[in-house]
Copies of this chain bind each other. A is one copy, B any other.
Amino acid sequence: MPDGLGPALEAPLFESAAIIGVGLIGSSLARIVRRKGLARRIIAFDSNAAVRRRALEIGLADHVPDTLGEAVAGADLVVLCAPVGAMEDIARDMAPHLADGTIVSDVGSVKAAVIAALAPLLPPNVHLIPAHPVAGTEESGPDAGFASLFYNRWTIVTPPDDADPRAVAKLIALWKHAGANVEIMSAAHHDLVLAITSHVPHLIAYNIVGTAADLEEVTQSEVIKFSAGGFRDFTRIAASDPVMWRDIFLANKDAVLEMLGRFSEDLTALQRMIRRGDGEGLQDLFARTRAIRRSIIDLGQETAAPDFGRRAKADTEG
């Protein structure tokens, strides 16, 4: 396994996998499903006609029909890879076309709201098994995807209490064959975990980049030139897809506001330490946060290269 992804399966897990939405995640899923032979046939659909054409051009799927109904008809796996806010409309449109026994899943960063949007609209004989691959880059669109996106990242599966264990097992197998580690949790807990590990980090990154852009005393050009002091790290996640992130904040409102409240409380305390000149308090916090990065690196979730390995661009001699 020179690339860590392993050989293709001898027998596919699914006959026909429909991937609805072929942006970064959908197109990465299509690529790994193809590469590992996880489905005999791959159908892709996107509401954007230009994206559908591009998906055909780059060979993401065997078939890219013009309607959602055609895309899901006959599929035994449907994975919704669209912004969270689009789920309800998609469910309504595709429901009449779903075959009995189909597994319907998604990749949304919010789970409770997605389940609330999908569950009431799906026919009784399909299996709704929501999931969330915690992986991505700041890029968007069908060309941004790659087969190893999920490799050694976690996919969280949040099956309803009454889910069919065989359907759950099959969806877990899909993600494991895609290279992911799988964790099972409740939708509510997922939403709380992601609020702190993903949603609030994105929110404060968007916020500081916005604050810097609006200053009058410091020019945009200065912000850009001197960004190597730390600011540029935030611009990466603040370059993520705007519609996707709008939907995430609206759909995970309660957990985001709760975690944002904790963040703001802590920030107020830190502000007070600075105002009062409490060097000991500052140093205590700063020493504590170092250890967490070490753990993330040790778990293979982060590069150990200093400065995210940016140094490679200039020179490698000491």
Q: Which residues of A contact B (CB under 8 A)?
A: 3-5, 31, 85, 109, 134-139, 144-149, 151-154, 156, 179, 181, 183, 192-194, 196-215, 217-218, 220, 222-240, 242-243, 245-247, 249-250, 253, 256-257, 259-260, 262-264, 266-267, 270-271, 274-275, 277, 279, 282-283, 285-290, 292-296, 299, 301-303, 306-318
Contacts and interface: CB of A to CB of B under 8 A. Distances in A.
Contact of A292 (B31, B224, B283, B293): B224
Max chain B C-beta neighbours (<10 A), residue from A214, A263, A293, A310: A293
A266 B207 contact: yes
A137 B308 CA distance: 9
B311 A137 contact: yes
A254 to B, nearest CB: 10
Contact of A3 (B137, B226, B294, B314): B314
Nearest to A60: B318
A299 B233 contact: no
A227 B296 contact: yes
A317 B148 contact: yes
Interface centre among A144, A152, A242 (most CB of B within 10 A): A242
Given A242-B286, A289-B238, A295-B224, A267 B301 contact: no
Contact of A317 (B147, B209, B308): B147
A296 B198 contact: no
B194 A225 contact: no
15 contacts: A137-B311, A194-B226, A210-B285, A224-B296, A225-B299, A227-B296, A233-B237, A235-B296, A235-B302, A238-B293, A246-B283, A253-B274, A256-B274, A302-B310, A308-B309
B314 A152 contact: yes
Pick from A145, A279, A294 the residue with the most CB of B within 10 Å.
A279
B277 A250 contact: yes
A308 B311 CA distance: 11
B223 A197 contact: yes
A203 B282 CA distance: 10
